[in-house]
């Protein structure tokens, strides 16, 4: 099997430039930037809190989408052929904040230390915080954020987590709230793990589903029950564990300024679905390696200029931490362009 070629710009390592770049985050954006910069002769260090490089591409996206060995061969090529130095199990952060996936971080490094030590820093930390609905029962055992749910399954499959720390899905009933790609991945993984029944609940219709009707219809063909125009009202528990979920039917109102039709709950339309697990896949938030000090927008995304530079000179950002949750291809492209911009800045401004 061929690995993902993150260093396709060169066949061998060029002469070193003497410049050192730190990349925070070993997902698709970080790896693409590492490959470009290494091909230009810069010394590249990649920091990631997970036990091996790959980010969500390896630790959350199911293998039927991206084979594990392709990712592993790709980052091993960066390490062996291009001399990229990986520092895994390291969370880079200034201040205190807990995010999903932190359980693998064995040590912390202050973001400011890297800024001082390296000629340039690229932030490619992605979106490691998930949203959940503010409804009764959210604290019950059996309620998961989709990222956590997928992360635990993939971590066990990769050999980094004990299966006893993974939800026992076989023979259980699962409902996934949401209709994006992460929701579809959670539904498919539930099927592959032997769930007795899988539901997907979405507040609009299949035509408005972010993942697209084609992908959702494939899941329906495999047995997933599609509950459109529904919103969760409360999670029902028994002895501290999920027993079911109450949903309310909706209708779509008139389009707003963006052209989207707002779901309007229909009073008296509540109904209950018996489930063992409730998985929320309703969005994720960027997780930059700082609490403040660099400009972000109202959605928490790092603001960059046309050079991928943040509001701080010499600090760049790329991938989902800038774009918000996106597809692997888009994040990879953004990381590649960021690597190019860093190289230009190092050779033209920092020469």
Query: What distance in Å separates the CA atoms of residue 286 and residue 282, rounded to the nearest whole number?
Result: 14
Backbone angles phi, psi at 336, to 5 degrees: -60, -45
Convert the pLDDT of each residue in 139-185 to its tens digit.
Answer: 999 999 999 999 999 999 999 999 999 999 999 999 999 999 999 99
What's the pLDDT at 3? 81
Contact 201, 227 (CB under 8 A): yes
Convert the pLDDT of each residue in 197-209 to its tens digit.
Answer: 999 999 999 999 9
Instruction: State the CB neighbour count (10 A cutoff) for residue 18.
Output: 10
What percent of the chain has a predicted confidence (pLDDT) above 90?
A: 90
Greatest alpha-carbon span in the chain: 71
Average pLDDT of 334-346? 98
Contact 237, 208 (CB under 8 A): no
Average pLDDT of 254-279? 91
Average pLDDT of 286-302? 92
Contact 42, 19 (CB under 8 A): yes
């Amino acid at each position: 099997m061929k690995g993902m070629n993150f260093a396709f710009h060169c066949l061998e390592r060029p002469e070193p430039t003497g410049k050192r770049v730190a990349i925070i985050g070993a997902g698709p954006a970080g790896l693409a930037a590492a490959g470009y910069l290494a091909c230009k002769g810069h010394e590249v260090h990649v920091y990631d809190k997970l036990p091996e490089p790959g980010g969500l591409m390896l630790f959350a996206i199911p293998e039927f989408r991206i084979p594990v060995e392709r990712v592993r061969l790709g980052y091993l090529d960066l390490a062996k052929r291009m001399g990229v130095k990986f520092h895994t199990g390291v969370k880079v952060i200034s201040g205190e904040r807990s995010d999903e996936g932190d359980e693998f971080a064995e040590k912390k490094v202050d973001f400011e230390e890297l800024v001082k030590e390296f000629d340039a820093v690229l932030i490619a930390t992605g979106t490691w915080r998930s949203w959940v609905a503010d409804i009764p029962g959210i604290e019950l055992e059996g309620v998961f954020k989709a990222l956590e749910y997928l992360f635990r399954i993939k971590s066990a499959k990769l050999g980094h987590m004990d299966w006893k720390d993974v939800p026992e899905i076989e023979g259980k009933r699962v409902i996934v709230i949401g209709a994006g790609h992460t929701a579809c991945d959670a539904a498919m993984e539930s099927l592959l793990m032997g769930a007795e029944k899988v539901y997907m609940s979405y507040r609009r219709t299949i035509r408005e589903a972010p993942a697209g009707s084609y992908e959702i219809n494939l899941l329906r063909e495999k047995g997933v029950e599609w509950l459109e125009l529904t919103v969760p009202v409360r999670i029902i528990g028994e002895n501290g564990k999920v027993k079911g979920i109450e949903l309310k039917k909706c209708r779509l109102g008139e389009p707003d300024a963006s052209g989207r039709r707002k779901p309007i709950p229909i009073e008296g339309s509540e109904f209950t679905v018996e489930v063992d697990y409730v998985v929320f896949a309703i969005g994720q938030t960027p997780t930059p390696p700082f609490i403040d000090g660099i400009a972000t927008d109202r959605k928490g995304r790092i603001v960059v200029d046309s050079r991928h530079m943040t509001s701080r000179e010499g600090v760049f950002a790329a991938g989902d931490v800038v774009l918000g949750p996106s597809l692997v291809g888009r994040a990879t492209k953004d990381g590649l362009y960021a690597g190019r911009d860093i190289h230009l800045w190092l050779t033209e401004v920092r020469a």
